[in-house]
Chain A
């Protein structure tokens, strides 16, 4: 519906492991952002990529890293998983420009045990 798809939809990882979450944006969307939403909280900005370069970062440690690819897909990588990393991870994409709509994917639910 939004043209933004995320995978996997749900996953369970063990503390200390690494995870890669993927996002496929609409063709032409040169800006992608990742957000973390813990239970009962609003989404928190992790970082944004514009034309494959990181273009802003929130208060997240370096073990959260990302990539954006020329085909409008992107990845969020989290190393050394901690229990508090359990959350919904949302990808949002848009075509950079004033008043262009931002589209969210359905999210990836990560549980760290």
Chain B
């Protein structure tokens, strides 16, 4: 079983749609969680950290459920430019040994 698991997708959605990604992690010692975005043939870029209380950044909302070892990312009002692969990440110690999921592909279409 992989340490971080994501639905690979692809999620094909129209512009303006709301889309949700889910992720589960198996290591209960994980302390820090992130969502990264990766465009084709580019490096991963931090989208947002995920905090226990949940956090929002514009159209993006991240949630963490430690009891269920579950992380989610909600994107509202999808834009064409949101098309990318979204990587769920967990780590035991902040900044050390990031454990990535395989990524979820999002395609937003006009």
Interface residues on B, range: 10 to 19
Cβ-defined partner of A48 (8 Å) among B46, B94, B97, B102? B97
A110 to B100, CA, bound (A): 20
Cβ-defined partner of B43 (8 Å) among A41, A55, A90? A90
* Docked-complex contact B94 and A98, CB < 8 angstroms: yes
Nearest Cβ in chain B — how far from A69, in angstroms?
20
The dominant DSSP class at the B interface is loop
Q: 8 Å CB contacts to B: which residues of A47-71?
A: 48, 55-56, 58
* Docked-complex contact B102 and A40, CB < 8 angstroms: yes
Cβ-defined partner of A56 (8 Å) among B4, B45, B49, B96? B96
Q: Is B58 part of the contact surface with A, judged by Cβ < 8 Å?
A: no
Chain A residues within 8 Å of B101, by CB: 42
Cβ-defined partner of A106 (8 Å) among B43, B94, B95, B102? B43
Q: Which residues of B contact A (CB under 8 A)?
A: 4, 41-46, 49, 87, 94-103
